Amino acid sequence: MNPLKWALVEPFYKLAIGEDRKGQINTIVKMVGLPIAGLLVFLMLWQGAASNINTSLGQFPGPVQTYDQFVSLQEEATAEAVKEEKFYQRQEERNARKLEKNPEATIKVREYTGPPTFFEQIWRSLVTVMSGFILASIIAVPIGIIIGLSSNAYSAVNPLIQIFKPVSPLAWLPLVTMVVSAVYVTDDPAFDKAFLNSMFTVLLCCLWPTIINTAAGVATVTQDLKNVSQVLSLSWWTHVRKIVLPCSIPMMFTGLRISLGIAWMVLIAAEMLAQNPGLGKFVWDEFQNGSSDSLGRIMVAVIVIGIVGFFLDRGMLIIQKAVSWDKSSDIR
Amino acid sequence: MSINTGRRTFLKTTALAVSVAMGSLAYSAGAYALGDAEKEDLKFGFIKLTDMAPLAIAYENGYFEDEGLYVQLEAQANWKVLLDRVIDGQLDGAHMLAGQPIAATIGYGTKAPVITPISMDLNGNAITVSNKTWKAMKPHVEMEGDKPKHPISAAALKPVVESYKDAGKPFKMGMVFPVSTHNYELRYWLAAGGLNPGYYAPHKGDSSGTLDADVLLSVTPPPQMPATMEAGTIEGYCVGEPWNQQAVFKGIGVPVISDNSIQKNNPEKVFGLREDFYEKYPNTTIRVVKAMIRAAHWLDAENNKNRPAAVKILSKPNYVGADYKVIANSMTGTFEYEKGDKRSEPDFNVFFRYNATYPYYSDAIWYMTQMRRWGQISEQKADSWYKDMAKKVYRPDIYKQAVEELISDGTFKKTDFAGVFESDGFRGVQDDFMDGIPYDGSKPNDYIDSMKIGLKGSKQL
C-alpha cells in the first residue's frame, strides 16, 4: 500500500510535486469543492425552509438549532457521567457497610441505573443491529448456497422467499413480541426481551437479500469449473469450499451489504415499537415529550442515523472490495 | 512502639464493639425489623405524565437507594404496553391507571392478578375541547363578569353535539384507555350534563363503548392527545397533565373543567405490581412503598414548596420531558383555562395530603360501579362481590406495614398519618360530586341505581 496512490491523497501529492497542476486542481475541485458546495446549498435551503415552517412545537429546527441541540445533548451526557460516578461511589459505600454488618453477604456491583445518554443509545442501536445482522447472515448464507446448488431446492423455496421478502417489520413485530414472551422464560434473563424483539425483527427482515444474492452467486459458477470439480472427483464439501464459495463471494457480499442497509432502516422502526433503548426509542420519546427542543433533537437523531448508516455501508463496501477476486469490476 | 500498636488495636476493637452494639440497638428499635430487599434490581415503567412524579422523586432524591433498591425507570409507549409488560415480567411494577389493576383482576381485558399497595396521587386531569368547539360552546356557558363561571357543565356542550347530530356528523372525543380514570371522568361529566357517552357490551364482543352514544369516545395515548386534536380527529379529550396545558400553550384548545371539580379529590394513578411479585418479594415491595411515601411527602411538603424543584426534574427528557413552564403551570398550584384565564388550583395535583397515598377500598369500588354503569361489567353483581374484588386488588395491609416501618425508622411521626391505622378502608359517604349524587362505598348497587344515565339493577344490553 502506498499512501501516495490513495485517491484522496494523490492529487494533492501530485500538485505538491508539480505534476500536471491544472489537471490536479480540476480533480481536487471535483472531489472536494463540489461536495462542499452541495452541502452549503443544502444548508441554505434547509435554513430557508425551516424558518417558514411553524409547527405547534415552534419553528422547524434549522441547522443552527440542530447544532445547538447536539451541543446540549453532549452537555447532558457529561452531566450524566458525573451522576454516574456518584452512583458508583454511593454503591461502593453501601456495599462496604453491608460487608461490615455481615462479612459473608454477597456483594453485587450494578450498572448505573440512570437513563442512557444519546451517545449510549447510538451504541446500543449498533449492538442490536449487528447482532440481528450477524445471526441473519449465519442463517442466510448456508440456505443461499443450498438453494443455489440445487435447482429443485430453489424451486421449492423461491416462492416462500418472494412472499416473505416484502413484509414490513411492523407486521412481524407483534408476532415476534408474543413468541418471545411465550418462549423466553427465565428468572435471570441474560437479554432484555425488548432487545430480543427488535433483534429478531431485524433478523427476519434482512435474511432475504443475502439468501437471494448468495443463491445467484452460486449459480454463476461456470460449467468449466464444475467439470474440473467432476474430473478431480472432489467431495461435495470440498467442491463447496474450493469452488462454489470463492465464486459466489462477490455476489454474497452484495447481498450482505443490502441486508445491512435494510437492517439499519428496520431497526429504527423496531426500536420505536419494541421500546428497546436506542436511536428509534430516542426519536419516539422526544416526539412524546413535545417540548420546544424536541424537534431539534429529533433532527440531530435523523442526521446521526444517516451518518451511521453511511459508515456501515462504507464498511461493508471495503470488505466487499477486499474479498472480491475480480479487482477490475467497479463496485460502488 | 509495641505499646503504641497495642493501644491502637485496643482502640480499634473497642470502637468496633461499640459500633456493633449501637447497630444492634438501632436494629431492635423497630417492633419487628424489616429484612433486606430480596430483589434489589428493579425496573419500573411509567407514562409521560406529571403524576409519575413520586417515582422520579424517589429515584432522584435517593429514597430507593436508601432502601437498598437499584431502580431503573423507563417510559412506556402506552397503557396497554405498560400493563402487558408488568404482567409478563419485563417490568417489576408501574405507574398505573387506578382502573387497570381492578380490570386485570376481574378479567376485563387481559386477566392477571395485579395489586395496588399505594395510591400515587389525587386529581390531576382535565377536559379540554378544541378552539372550534369552545367557540360554539361559549354562548351557552354561564358568565361571571367577563370570565366563564366554573365549573362548566357539559350541558353547555349539548347544543354543540346536537348541531353535529343534525348535520349527520359524529362528535368525537378522546380518552386514554377504556379502564382509565379519564374515561370514567369524561363519561361522568358528559352524563351529568345530559349527554350519553355510550355503553360497552363485552359479552357480545363489543368493546368500543359507543352503543347508544351521543358522544363517541376513543382511545389515544396521552402524549399524542394534542396532536390528534390538532389533526381534527377528535374535538376534545380528557387527559392528565401536561397535555391540557400544552393545548393552551400551542393555542389549539381550551380546558373546560378539572377533574377536581367533577369529584373533589378523586383518586388518580396507583402503583401496580403482580400479586406473585409481592408474595415472592414481600420486603422489596414494602421498601418500594416506603420510598414512594417519602417521595409523595416531599412533593407536598410545606405547601408545595418543593414543586418547582420537582418540575425541573420532570422536565428532563427521560421523564415527562415537556417544557418547564408547561409542567409548572399545573404542578405549582395554578391552571390556565382560556389563554390568560389563569386560576388558582392548589389541589390540582395532590400527592400526600388528604391521605392521598392510602389505597382505599371505597375508591376501587367507585371505579367498579362506573364499570358496571357503562357496561364493562355486563351483569349485576352483589355488593359482597364488589368488596371481595376491592380487597383482592387494593392492599392497605402492605401500605400500613410500610407506614409502620417509616414511623419506627423515625422518618415520620404517627401524626403524619392521621386516620390511617383506624381506617377500615372505606371513606364513608362522599358527597362531593358535581351533580350532587352522594356515594357510599359500602352500598355499590344503591349507588349505581341512583345514576340518571347508565345501566341499572339487572339490566343487560
Q: How many domains does chain A have?
A: 3
Interface test with A, best of B20, B22, B74 (most A CBs within 10 A): B74
Phi, psi for B266 (deg, rounded to 5): -85, 145
Q: Does ipTM come in above 0.85?
A: no
pLDDT-based confidence at residue A326 (cuts at 50, 70, 90): low
Residue range A306-321: average pLDDT?
91
Question: Do the domain assignments include residue A42?
Answer: no
Q: Please, is B155 exposed, middle or buried when counting C-beta atoms within 10 Å of its C-beta (0-12, 13-18, 19+)?
A: middle
Q: Which residues of B touch A101 (CB under 8 A)?
A: 23
pLDDT, one tens digit per residue, over B396-446 is: 999 999 999 999 989 899 888 988 888 899 988 998 899 889 999 999 999
Question: Do the domain assignments include residue A51?
Answer: no
Interface test with A, best of B20, B44, B52, B90 (most A CBs within 10 A): B90
Tell me the C-alpha to C-alpha distance, in Å, between residue A216 and each of A203, A211, B28, B75: 21, 9, 77, 45
Q: Write down the pLDDT at residue B134.
A: 95
CA separation for the pair B287, B292 (Å, rounded) = 9
Task: Please check whether residues A65 and A153 belong to one and the same domain.
Answer: no
pLDDT, one tens digit per residue, over A189-203 is: 778 888 898 999 999
Look up residue B341 and give its DSSP letter.
-
Asked if B315 and A291 come within 8 Å (Cβ–Cβ), the reply is: yes
Asked if A110 and B230 come within 8 Å (Cβ–Cβ), the reply is: no
CA separation for the pair B50, B328 (Å, rounded) = 10
Residue environment code for B414-425, b if the CB has 16+ CB neighbours within 10 A, otherwise e: eeebeebeebeb
Question: Do the domain assignments include residue A2?
Answer: yes
Cβ atoms of residues A64 and A57 within 8 Å: no
Asked if A288 and B71 come within 8 Å (Cβ–Cβ), the reply is: no
Task: Please check whether residues A222 and A246 belong to one and the same domain.
Answer: yes
Question: Do the domain assignments include residue A50?
Answer: no
Question: What grid cell was written down for B385?
Answer: 362481590
Task: Please check whether residues A75 and A141 belong to one and the same domain.
Answer: no
Tell me the C-alpha to C-alpha distance, in Å, between residue A241 and each of A235, A244, A247: 10, 6, 10
Question: What grid cell was written down for B373?
Answer: 354503569
The CATH number for A302's domain is: 1.10.3720.10
Q: Write down the pLDDT at residue A59.
A: 83
Cβ atoms of residues B50 and B242 within 8 Å: yes
Q: Write down the pLDDT at residue B30.
A: 41
Please give the full DSSP string across B89-125, using - where no structure is assigned.
TSSSEEEEETHHHHHHHHTSSS---EEEEEE--EE-E
Three-state SS at B21: helix
Asked if A110 and B70 come within 8 Å (Cβ–Cβ), the reply is: yes
CA separation for the pair A252, A178 (Å, rounded) = 33
CA separation for the pair B78, A284 (Å, rounded) = 12
Task: Please check whether residues A168 and A87 belong to one and the same domain.
Answer: no
Q: Which residues pair with B285 in a beta bridge?
A: none
Task: Please check whether residues A65 and A205 belong to one and the same domain.
Answer: no
Any idea how long chain B is?
461
pLDDT, one tens digit per residue, over A127-145 is: 999 999 999 999 999 999 9
Asked if B226 and A290 come within 8 Å (Cβ–Cβ), the reply is: yes
Q: Write down the pLDDT at residue B29.
A: 39
Question: What grid cell was written down for A128?
Answer: 442490536
Asked if B322 and A115 come within 8 Å (Cβ–Cβ), the reply is: no
Residue A1, domain extent: 1-35
Minimal C-alpha gap between B250 and chain A (Å): 5
pLDDT, one tens digit per residue, over B63-112 is: 999 999 999 999 888 898 899 989 988 899 999 999 999 999 999 988 89
Task: Please check whether residues A30 and A83 belong to one and the same domain.
Answer: no
Task: Please check whether residues A79 and A218 belong to one and the same domain.
Answer: no
Cβ atoms of residues B94 and B42 within 8 Å: no
CA separation for the pair B63, B57 (Å, rounded) = 8
Task: Please check whether residues A11 and A138 belong to one and the same domain.
Answer: no
Task: Please check whether residues A86 and A230 belong to one and the same domain.
Answer: no
pLDDT, one tens digit per residue, over A32-76 is: 888 899 999 999 999 999 888 887 777 889 999 999 999 999 999
In this predicted structure, the answer to whether residue A29 has a pLDDT above a threshold of 80 is yes
Asked if B81 and A292 come within 8 Å (Cβ–Cβ), the reply is: no
pLDDT-based confidence at residue A330 (cuts at 50, 70, 90): low
Residue scoring higher pLDDT (A92 or A8): A92
Question: Do the domain assignments include residue A44?
Answer: no
Minimal C-alpha gap between A244 and chain B (Å): 46
Q: Write down the pLDDT at residue B305.
A: 92
Q: Which residues of B touch A56 (CB under 8 A)?
A: 226-227, 230, 250-252
Which among A56, A113, A285 has the least Cβ separation from residue B70?
A: A113
Q: Write down the pLDDT at residue A328.
A: 61
CA separation for the pair B132, B425 (Å, rounded) = 44
CA separation for the pair A194, A281 (Å, rounded) = 11
Question: Do the domain assignments include residue A47?
Answer: no
Residue environment code for B428-448, b if the CB has 16+ CB neighbours within 10 A, otherwise e: eebeebbeeeebbbbbbbebb
CA separation for the pair B388, B425 (Å, rounded) = 13
Q: Write down the pLDDT at residue A98.
A: 81
Q: Which residues of chain B have pLDDT under 70?
A: 1-32
Q: Write down the pLDDT at residue A129.
A: 94
Task: Please check whether residues A239 and A268 belong to one and the same domain.
Answer: yes
Q: Which domains are seen in chain B, by residue range?
A: 41-122+267-449 (3.40.190.10), 125-262 (3.40.190.10)
Q: Write down the pLDDT at residue A131.
A: 95
DSSP-derived pairing of the beta strands B215-219 and B171-175: parallel
Question: Do the domain assignments include residue A220?
Answer: yes
Minimal C-alpha gap between A127 and chain B (Å): 20
Mean pLDDT for all residues in chain A: 87
DSSP-derived pairing of the beta strands B41-46 and B70-75: parallel
Tell me the C-alpha to C-alpha distance, in Å, between residue B403 and each of A76, A155, B29, B411: 37, 70, 15, 10
Task: Please check whether residues A181 and A272 belong to one and the same domain.
Answer: yes
Task: Please check whether residues A130 and A270 belong to one and the same domain.
Answer: yes
Please give the full DSSP string across B115-153, using - where no structure is assigned.
EEEEE--EE-EEEEEEHHHHHHHGGGS-EETTEEPSSPP
Q: Write down the pLDDT at residue B223.
A: 81
Q: Write down the pLDDT at residue B7.
A: 47
